[in-house]
Amino acid sequence: MNWMKTAAIAALATLGFAGSAAAEGALNIYNWGDYTSPELIKKFEDKYKVKVTVTDYDSNDTALAKVRAGGHGFDIVVPSANYLPIWIKEGLLLEARPDQMENFKNVEARWVDVPWDPGRHYSVPWQWGLSGIGVNKKVYGGDINTSAIFLDPPKELVGKINVEPEMNDVLYATIKYLGGEWCTTDRDLLKKVRDKLVEAKPKWLAMDYSVTEKLPSGDYAGVYYWNGAIMRARLKNPDIAFGYPKEGYPVFMDSVTILKDAKNVENAKLFMNFIMEPENAALISAFAKYANGIKGSDAFLPADMKDAPELVIPPQFEKAGEFLKTCAPEVSELYTRIWTDVNK
């Protein structure tokens, strides 16, 4: 019995060591494209001697489908707030309890008890922002604080517009433009939404992610896109102006989570805690130009972010913004049908 007990303990110890050895030195992050600061990654790698691999995705739906399919090899994923409850409900995420980590004290109070992850048992803030309008003022000088820029584009912008290929953001703006509310099931309104988008799409040039290059270069003259990317475009070309759709615009927060089947859990937890340090959160924002939700990070941000028109919402447009809530599955199905028609 003593020999068997000793052998069993030795075997368990060997398995435990093998698991940690397999995890040691690696971290695989699955994140939105052009959204991860190389400086942040290098700092983490140098501090913890961990090799980080970042793989890009182009939408919430792409990320969800990839992980649902299995065999992905990722440790961390960064879902948006309206998708996070789906990840949690489907059991795809580890309840990593970041609320018990050392640096959690740095999370701004408004981002702690959030509806998509009450008390933050699964996620920590990465960045937050909104979808708005970017226009080259040399091409169009009219009102840009409206979703009409891409839904009923002025003649100067026809054929020169790029629209973000993110279903919920586009549908939200269109529903609000037509006087509806998010998660509506009003079939008459949704038909108008579908028809409006199908009518508008031929007046667009593209639906892609090249805004930080193609807007300042002049390939696009107008965009419906995320505010941080439009700020990056403006820094390259001062003729770019930002507008807040007065009819309504979606606000997002993307959060870092650990996958339930992650192979490098401890390294993923290290990364979670690492990005809640103010100086490190500032590196995230300095690269992609979005706010981050970590107290004290402002002191480390570049001067061009302090009063940027893309980040400081004018008082008259504050109430037009709304966090996208997670719609019921039957509503999401309706919206997906519309989106499929738009992308035919």
Looking up residue 21, the CATH number of its domain turns out to be: 3.40.190.10
Same domain, 133 and 265: no
Rounded Cα distance between 125 and 136, Å, is 32
pLDDT above 90: percentage of residues in the chain: 92
Same domain, 54 and 94: yes
Same domain, 225 and 265: no
pTM: 0.89
pLDDT of 5 strictly over 80: no
- Give the pLDDT confidence of 314-333 residue by residue, as tens digits: 999 999 999 999 999 999 99
* 93 backbone dihedrals φ, ψ, rounded to 5°: -115, 150
CB 297 within 8 A of CB 257: no
Pairwise pLDDT comparison (44 vs 14), residue with the higher score: 44
Rounded Cα distance between 131 and 211, Å, is 13
Same domain, 246 and 224: yes
Whole-Å CA distances, 95 to 89, 208, 233, 267 = 12, 33, 37, 15
> Six-digit token pair at 88?
């949690």
Beta-strand ranges (E) seen in 176-294 are 222-226, 240-243, 249-258
Same domain, 311 and 301: no
Q: Which domain holds residue 102?
A: 2-128+253-305
Same domain, 122 and 138: no
Same domain, 118 and 150: no
Same domain, 266 and 338: no
- Give the pLDDT confidence of 240-263 residue by residue, as tens digits: 999 999 999 999 999 999 999 999
Q: How many domains does the chain have?
A: 2
Same domain, 52 and 198: no
Same domain, 133 and 122: no
Rounded Cα distance between 80 and 62, Å, is 12
Local structure of residue 278 (DSSP, 8 states): H
* Helix (H) or strand (E) segment spanning residue 65: helix 60-69
Same domain, 45 and 107: yes
Same domain, 200 and 106: no
